[in-house]
């Protein structure tokens, strides 16, 4: 199957967030000064604490206090909660409103946010599914829902819990396979961020199957 490559500009109509899977806490992962968060680079932070001779104290207090430990209070005791110090040990900074106790960072590569091609592909898949449900409901019922109804009927007649669980997993796999195959022929490259004010994504590598 030949692939046709096209270049598209996609405008984000709302704030966009794709999480890295991490959850950062104010008690250990960052410090807030006024309306700015300084997110620590752990290696730089350890280097600073070691240089000041307080690394052992830091580790000991974290172990003793557990969740009640607060890194900003610890740094303040040693006069290290200053802007110029925090800039040296932070990997990046964020302007915020309020005082977040935790936050989920945007996915990054080499310290810069980027849009995975798989995320855009997932958004396209949702849009396609919506249009299929809206415009082709009768055809979809024959293609998809009829087999599902058959499997659901089988499930309702199974009394054995083990067999019930096996059939349920099979049904979920079939649904997942259907969703994945919707855009099976499309290939999208990742898109790196171009700054805070950029509100569009430009993909150089969108491969579309030619039928």
Q: What's the pLDDT tens digit per position in 115-128?
A: 887 788 778 777 77
CA distance 179 to 126: 9
Q: Is the pLDDT of residue 46 over 90?
A: yes
CA distance 125 to 4: 19
Task: Look at 11-25, 66-80, 122-136, 164-178 and tell me which has the smallest mean pLDDT.
Answer: 164-178
CA distance 177 to 173: 6
CA distance 40 to 58: 15
Centre a 10 Å sphere on the Cβ of residue 175 and count the other Cβ atoms it contains: 13
Q: What's the pLDDT tens digit per position in 150-197?
A: 766 776 666 566 676 776 677 667 666 665 655 555 555 555 655 444
**Please, which residues bridge with residue 10 across strands?**
201
Instruction: Please say whether the beta carbons of 19 and 105 come within 8 A.
Output: yes
Task: Look at 3-12, 32-41, 59-68, 135-144 and tell me which has the smallest mean pLDDT.
Answer: 135-144
**Could you tell me the pTM of the whole model?**
0.57
Centre a 10 Å sphere on the Cβ of residue 51 and count the other Cβ atoms it contains: 9
The average pLDDT across 86-101 equals 90
CA distance 100 to 189: 33
Q: How far is CA 182 from the centre of its chain?
A: 22
> What is the pLDDT, as a whole number, of residue 21?
85
């Amino acid at each position: 199957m030949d692939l046709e490559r096209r270049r598209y500009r996609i405008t984000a109509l709302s704030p966009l967030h794709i999480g890295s899977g991490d959850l950062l806490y104010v008690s250990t992962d960052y410090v807030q000064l006024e309306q700015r968060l300084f997110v620590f680079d752990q290696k730089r932070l350890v280097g600073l604490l070691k240089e000041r001779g307080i690394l052992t104290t830091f580790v000991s207090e974290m172990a003793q206090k557990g969740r009640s430990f607060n890194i900003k209070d610890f740094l303040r005791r040693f006069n290290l909660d200053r802007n110029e110090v925090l800039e040296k040990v932070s990997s990046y900074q964020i302007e915020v409103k309020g005082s977040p106790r935790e936050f989920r960072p945007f996915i990054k590569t080499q310290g810069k946010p980027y849009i995975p091609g798989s995320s855009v592909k997932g958004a396209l898949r949702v849009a396609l599914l919506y249009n299929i449900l809206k415009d082709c409901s009768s055809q979809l019922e024959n293609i998809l829902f009829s087999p599902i109804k058959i499997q659901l009927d089988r499930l309702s007649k199974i009394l054995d819990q083990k067999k019930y669980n096996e059939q349920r997993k099979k049904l979920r796999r079939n649904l997942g396979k259907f969703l994945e195959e919707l855009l099976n022929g499309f290939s999208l490259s990742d898109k790196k961020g171009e700054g805070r004010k950029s509100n569009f994504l430009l993909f150089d590598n969108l491969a579309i199957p030619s039928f």
